[in-house]
Structure 1
Amino acid sequence: MLTLFYILSAITLATAFLTIFSKNPIHSAIYLVLCFFSIAGHYFMFNAQFLGIVHIIVYSGAIMILMLFTIMLMNLNKEDEKNKTLLSRLAAVVAFGLLGLVILATFIKSQPVIESYKVSGQDYQSIKVLGQVLLNDYMVPFEFASILLLVSMIGAVLLSKKEHINN
């Protein structure tokens, strides 16, 4: 089981880095789908089958289709992209490094919030309990996420519209 964890972790990290460093946006999206599938494999290893299946359906299915449509709609061509100056690239690297240091320091300094765990005896792997928690306690964040996705899709469509100049 530990070997399978290491294999899935290596696949997750490799496809995540390939997603970031890939020049072609379609290849990047395909690497992201592979990353999502390997993360779903981690859910299956943790005996959270429902979360694994939902992860595959929602992320690998719906979100990636939305991203691919957005990429194709925006028609990203390398010829149209302006070259970045050395100063802007250096500023991006410095900003990324500083952000990484802040996140690393946050993880190092953070302390666990819960010192002891109490067993309630309730099965949180049950779909019934998960549905009640999701649609009762977390209904508003769930709806905000759907509105955010809708607004981002509309924004991508509006950004990709070509303006016609009438002469």
Structure 2
Amino acid sequence: MNIEQVLFGAFAALTLLSAALVIFAKSPISSAMALVSTFFFLAGIYVLLWAHTVAALQVLVYAGAIMVLFLFVIMLLNLGEDTSGPRLTLSRILGGGAAIGLFVALALAIARVPNQMAVLDASQQATFGTLRAVGASIFTTWLLPFEAVSLLLLVAMVGAVVVAKSRI
């Protein structure tokens, strides 16, 4: 066992722990801050996988920009502590069932993946994961989903302002 395996195990365990804190935190602010730590631990896993560009984007985009947006919406909507106890409602039952179904589908998909490593030739290894390659991929192959996500975030922010406008 080498140091990379130990670090990977530590980052994976801390990622799962902080993800559980996102779900079970009582305060929305605590949940958002646990999500930030989850993003940082994921960035550590990306560094161990030699995906430094993805790790930097993880920290800049998700832990930075997206979480600022989430915290802005939480503060704008003035979401406080939920004083009522947990209630079992139809939407919670359906949401739990959907989460379990997605977990089972993910486990089955992972089980069907062949257990062999991908091999890149020398020219692919030199450009794999660079900012130029990531930018070219985003702005050619994935341009429509990229723009759709940015539009969705804009609509979410405008919607939060409209909802909270009556309280301001």
TM range (shorter): 0.7 to 0.9
Q: TM-score, normalised by structure 1?
A: 0.82
Stretches of structure 1 that go unaligned for 5 or more consecutive residues are none
Give the letter for the 1:134 counterpart: I
Alignment partner of 2:140: what SS?
A: helix
Shift of 1:117: 5.3
Question: What is the root-mean-square deviation in Å for CA atoms of aligned residues?
Answer: 2.6
What is the 5 A alignment of 1:4-83?
Answer: 4-78=7-81, 83=84
Q: Provide closer, same or farther for how the CA distance between residues 107 and 76 of structure 1 changes in structure 2, counting only shifts above 3 A.
A: closer
Alignment partner of 1:107: what SS?
A: helix
Amino-acid identity (%): 33
Residue matched to 1:160: 164
Residue matched to 1:103: 102
Give the letter for the 1:16 counterpart: A
Deviating above 6 A after TM superposition, structure 1's stretches of 4 or more consecutive aligned residues are: none
Structure 2 contact 27–80 (Cα < 8 Å) conserved: no
Alignment partner of 1:6: what SS?
A: helix
The CA distance in 2 between the partners of 1:125 and 1:85, in whole Å, is 45
Residue matched to 1:125: 129
Shift of 1:101: 3.8
The CA distance in 2 between the partners of 1:36 and 1:140, in whole Å, is 25
Shift of 1:102: 2.1
Q: Provide closer, same or farther for how the CA distance between residues 100 and 150 of structure 1 changes in structure 2, counting only shifts above 3 A.
A: closer
The CA distance in 2 between the partners of 1:17 and 1:57, in whole Å, is 23
Shift of 1:108: 4.5
Alignment partner of 1:53: what SS?
A: helix
The CA distance in 1 between the partners of 2:104 and 2:35, in whole Å, is 27
Q: Provide closer, same or farther for how the CA distance between residues 126 and 29 of structure 1 changes in structure 2, counting only shifts above 3 A.
A: same
Give the letter for the 2:7 counterpart: L
Stretches of structure 2 that go unaligned for 5 or more consecutive residues are none
Alignment partner of 1:137: what SS?
A: coil
